[in-house]
A = this chain, B = another copy of it.
């Protein structure tokens, strides 16, 4: 595989959290091209360390362990935590406490750049006929989205007080291909994911910047015009999947909240409260 991004910058040590997840496994093999050592972490099994890899399993809610994780790191790609909707009680330690621990570790060890896997679910309650920029009020569509909103606010705070820079990527739907008509708008190819992550790592000045992570799809309800300083130029598009996707899902019920919002079915999940 040749690198999707043309940078010549190379980091001594990158930390990738959530490296055992779907996007983590993709980025594990892709980020090697941009660093000397790739430190991998997850609570799930990561297998053996390959060449140029370090494997450090941690639970993100373990503050001491996360602190160790951040030591000697040049920059972080933080995918770790729960990546779909769960109960508040499950989301809280992994995503809220865990992300706090990552930023505290970064502060203590002098790490200056974090690429944070935020989510389209931070703004999931906008309708699909509303095109939104990166500075609209948050409208999370569940506990997962709330935890990502918390992470973005945390990133803003660590920038404002401590000068730690973050790019919060509001990732759409990064899969091999779009699964339904909503994903014709939210899809991001793995190559574009790599482009976005590497742009975010290498852009000279980002402060705390928010950007929607989608490919160059014809259909979109996101406006990244305030994030062009990051230098992300997607090269793929969901358009080649349109006919197949539409054939599978010809009808949209515009009364169905799960079909008409940015966040799709997330807006209807729960309640997770079983009492």
A62 interface hit (Cβ, 8 Å): no
A4 interface hit (Cβ, 8 Å): no
Number of chain A residues close to chain B: CB under 8 A: 84
Which of A51-59, A76-84, A171-179, A245-253 sits within the interface? A245-253
With A6-B242, A7-B243, A233-B218 known to touch, is A154 a contact of B146 (CB < 8 Å)? yes
CB atoms of A242 and B146 under 8 A apart:
no
Q: Give the distance to chain B from A153, nearest Cβ to Cβ, in Å.
A: 5
- Nearest residue (CB) in B for A145 is B157
CB atoms of B273 and A108 under 8 A apart:
yes
Q: Which of B107, B204, B233, B275 contacts A252 (CB 8 A)?
A: B204
B residues less than 8 Å from A6 (CB atoms):
239, 242-243
Query: Footprint of B on A, CB under 8 Å?
Result: 6-9, 64, 67, 88, 92, 96-97, 100, 104, 107-108, 112, 125, 127-131, 135, 137-142, 145-146, 149-150, 153-154, 156-157, 160-161, 163, 165, 181-182, 184-185, 199, 202-207, 209, 218-221, 223, 225-233, 239, 242-244, 246-247, 250, 252, 254-255, 259-260, 267-268, 270-271, 273, 275
**Chain A to chain B contacts (Cβ below 8 Å), 9 pairs:** A7-B246, A104-B273, A125-B156, A127-B207, A131-B227, A139-B157, A139-B160, A205-B259, A220-B228
